[in-house]
């Protein structure tokens, strides 16, 4: 596959369903009903309760917020509930439709657009906060999205988000399954994640690489988080001692 085809492939993958809205989560609930969205929300914050402590939605009442990659609109709903002025973009029509329906159920609104975030349709210095949880690493050119985020943030504005960490228990398990056990022990962790984590072309990073990606910001804080996905399939007596440094999620706060 040509690299130039990658975002098209990524879009096709996520058009089938927004992230977090898998059948195992929504089960028999009617699509885009209140029950359907509540199941998505309950599952997300059960698995990733740290989203609230990292993001601190309620601190940004009255602020102008852009979310890059809205998915099923679960986090976007929290921004809207907190009283932020919401904007959202996504690569897929499915995510835009789900997010719009999700907010409508609660009488809330957002300015939503289906676009590729490698080129954001907003003027310089437009937003107080840009938020993106687990999305940028799926792009063909994450560095272009980060450059755009920097451009549209106001001076002193913040980026809040998460990208995948390479040196994690999740990537080690992927390497064991798709590398070592398949007779390819010398495949890099980066290549394993590229081919075997969600959509094709998914990237993962070291802390040093993320600091470089966000080097244009005046300061950035990169913090790994150990997740239920790192602990999955392993005995509790072992995983209870896993340090955050082994976590698959890299939480990011960066100030322009």
Render each residue's pLDDT in the chain as its tens digit; 256 residues.
444 589 999 999 999 988 889 999 999 999 999 999 999 999 999 999 999 999 999 999 999 999 999 999 999 999 999 999 999 999 999 999 999 999 999 999 999 999 999 999 999 999 999 999 999 999 999 999 999 999 999 999 999 999 999 999 999 999 999 999 999 999 999 999 999 999 999 999 999 999 999 999 999 999 999 999 999 999 999 999 999 999 999 999 999 9
Q: Where are the domains of the chain?
A: 3-164+201-255
CB 76 within 8 Å of CB 98: no
The pLDDT value recorded for residue 17 is 86
Of 8, 7, 13, the closest CA to residue 197 belongs to 13
The CATH architecture that domain 3-164+201-255 belongs to is 3-Layer(aba) Sandwich (3.40)
CA separation (Å) from 143 to 32, 84, 106? 33, 27, 35
CA gap 89, 152 in Å, rounded = 13
The pLDDT value recorded for residue 20 is 86
The pLDDT value recorded for residue 19 is 86
The pLDDT value recorded for residue 219 is 96
Please, what is the end-to-end C-alpha distance for the chain in angstroms? Answer: 36
């Amino acid at each position: 596959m040509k690299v130039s085809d990658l975002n098209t492939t990524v879009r096709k993958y996520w058009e089938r369903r927004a992230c977090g809205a898998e059948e195992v989560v929504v089960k028999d609930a009617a699509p885009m009903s209140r029950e359907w969205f509540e199941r998505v929300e309950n599952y997300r914050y059960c698995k990733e309760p740290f989203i609230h402590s990292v993001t601190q939605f309620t601190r940004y009442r009255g602020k102008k917020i852009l979310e890059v990659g809205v998915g099923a609109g679960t986090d976007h709903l929290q921004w809207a509930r907190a009283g932020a002025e919401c904007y959202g973009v996504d690569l897929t029509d499915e995510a835009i439709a789900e997010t719009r329906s999700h907010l409508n159920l609660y009488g809330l609104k957002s300015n939503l657009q289906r676009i590729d975030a490698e080129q954001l349709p907003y003027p310089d210095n437009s937003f107080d906060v840009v938020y993106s949880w687990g999305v940028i690493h799926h792009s063909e050119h994450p560095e272009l999205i980060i450059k755009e985020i920097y451009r549209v943030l106001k001076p002193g504005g913040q980026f809040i988000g998460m990208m995948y960490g390479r040196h994690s228990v999740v990537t080690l398990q992927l390497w064991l399954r798709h590398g070592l056990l398949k007779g390819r022990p010398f495949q890099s962790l980066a290549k394993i994640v590229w081919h075997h984590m969600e959509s094709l072309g998914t990237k993962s990073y070291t802390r040093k690489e993320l600091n470089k990606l966000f080097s244009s910001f005046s300061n950035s804080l990169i913090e790994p988080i150990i997740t239920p996905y790192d602990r999955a399939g392993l005995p509790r007596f072992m995983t209870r001692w896993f340090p955050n440094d082994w976590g698959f999620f890299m939480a990011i706060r960066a100030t322009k």
